[in-house]
């Protein structure tokens, strides 16, 4: 989905994004600049990064299909990472055994046990990312707690059937504008997946459109405080009256059942 979106927008901006190799991609992104759109390159890089599958640990001999696209390398490991020390230690031990510098033990050369170890390392890494995102979300709330209403420029990152995802470059803050709310009238929505675009009443929103949002902290539920935004520009008219369109930002660590449904 992201690859298609990037390609469509690049063509519309008379740009060419090459995905034949990591080198070609990096070079085409370096050239994707527009004096009239200073954040173009940043937005394109965000979308492109999300197209890529996250690198994971695996035991050699257990998987046949592998490649590190970002580094343009058929295989890759590390042994000097300051944040993944246990993976480093395992690599050190395996290398020491491979060159005859140290003795081994049964568990180290059992590929099934190593495969289980890799799965646990991948799981722990994912949990650490969730913890990091939760920490960022918490400190973002603390930051906006005393700011009152903050009006900022934002750019539409994604367009969905019932929402748009926006990014505020000044704060690196991302949120989703939902146009369907419980117990509130739903505006007329027309989603075009080819462009892509979303028409809300008489206003059409496109990917990378510049908008204005008001940012506040919703502390109505003390246990689940959250950043809320309100779409200010463009104004969405519902029967000639400006519609109140809220935006919610949330951490990926929130339980899925508590998140609003975002239609693809």
Looking up residue 175, the CATH number of its domain turns out to be: 2.40.50.140
Residue 157: closest CA among 180, 140, 175 = 175
Final residue belonging to a domain, choices 31, 51, 71:
51
Residue 188 lies in a domain: yes
* SS3 assignment, position 121: helix
Residue 178 lies in a domain: yes
Distance from the Cα of residue 75 to its chain's centroid: 25
Residues in Cβ contact with 255 at an 8 Å cutoff, skipping those fewer than 6 apart: none
Stronger pLDDT, 183 or 161, i.e. the higher one: 161
In this predicted structure, the answer to whether residue 253 has a pLDDT above a threshold of 80 is no
Q: How confident is the model at residue 243 (pLDDT cuts 50, 70, 90)?
A: low
pLDDT of residue 123: 95
Residue 76 lies in a domain: no
Residue 204 lies in a domain: yes
In this predicted structure, the answer to whether residue 114 has a pLDDT above a threshold of 70 is yes
Render pLDDT for 40-81 as a digit per residue (tens, 0 to 9). 888 888 888 877 778 888 888 877 777 777 777 777 888 787
Final residue belonging to a domain, choices 25, 51, 77:
51
Q: Which of 97-106, 123-132, 202-211 has the highest mean pLDDT?
A: 123-132
What is the dihedral sign for C-alpha 45, 48, 53, 57?
negative
The span from the CA of 208 to the CA of 236, in Å, is: 18
Q: What is the CA radius of gyration of the chain?
A: 23
Stronger pLDDT, 251 or 116, i.e. the higher one: 116
- Residue span of the structural domain in which 245 resides: 147-258
pLDDT of residue 1: 55
Q: Over range 85-91, report the average pLDDT.
A: 88
Number of domains composing the chain:
2
**Is 0.95 surpassed by the pTM of this model?**
no
Residue 45 lies in a domain: yes
DSSP 260: P
The span from the CA of 3 to the CA of 13, in Å, is: 15
Residue that has been written with the tokens 């992104």 in this structure? 29
* SS3 assignment, position 73: strand
In this predicted structure, the answer to whether residue 264 has a pLDDT above a threshold of 70 is no
The span from the CA of 71 to the CA of 264, in Å, is: 30
pLDDT of residue 224: 83
Residue 151 lies in a domain: yes
Beta strands in 105-263 (DSSP E): 150-159, 163-168, 173-178, 189-192, 197-200, 203-206, 210-218, 226-233, 237-238, 241-242, 246-248
Q: Kindly report which listed range (3-17, 36-50, 83-97) carries the lowest average pLDDT score.
A: 3-17
Indicate the angle between helix axes 40-51 and 22-31, nearest 10 degrees. Answer: 160
Q: Over range 208-229, report the average pLDDT.
A: 85
Residue 166 lies in a domain: yes
Residue 77 lies in a domain: no
* SS3 assignment, position 190: strand
In this predicted structure, the answer to whether residue 240 has a pLDDT above a threshold of 60 is no
DSSP 219: -
Helix (H) or strand (E) holding 145: helix 111-145
pLDDT of residue 158: 86
């Amino acid at each position: 989905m992201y690859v298609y979106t990037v390609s469509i927008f690049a063509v519309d901006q008379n740009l060419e994004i090459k995905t034949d190799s990591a080198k070609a991609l990096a070079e085409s992104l370096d050239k994707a600049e527009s004096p009239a759109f200073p954040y173009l390159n940043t937005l394109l890089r965000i979308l492109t990064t999300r197209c890529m599958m996250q690198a994971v640990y695996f035991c050699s001999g257990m998987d046949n299909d592998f490649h590190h696209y970002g580094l343009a390398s058929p295989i890759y490991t590390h042994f000097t990472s300051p944040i993944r020390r246990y993976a480093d230690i395992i690599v050190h031990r395996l290398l020491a055994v491979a060159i005859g510098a140290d003795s081994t033990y049964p568990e180290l050369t059992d590929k099934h046990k190593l495969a289980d170890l890799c799965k646990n390392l991948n799981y722990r890494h994912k949990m650490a990312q969730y913890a990091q995102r939760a920490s960022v979300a918490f400190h973002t709330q603390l930051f906006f707690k005393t700011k009152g209403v903050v009006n900022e420029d934002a750019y539409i990152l994604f367009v969905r059937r019932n929402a748009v995802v926006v990014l505020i470059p000044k704060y690196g803050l991302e949120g989703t504008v939902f146009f369907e709310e419980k117990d509130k009238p739903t505006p007329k929505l027309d989603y075009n997946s080819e462009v892509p675009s979303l028409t809300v009443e008489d206003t059409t929103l496109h990917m990378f459109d510049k908008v204005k949002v008001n940012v506040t902290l919703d502390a109505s539920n003390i246990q689940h405080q959250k950043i809320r935004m309100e779409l200010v520009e463009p104004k969405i008219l519902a029967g000639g009256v400006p519609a109140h369109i809220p935006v919610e930002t949330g951490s990926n660590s929130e339980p899925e059942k508590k998140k609003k449904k975002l239609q693809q």
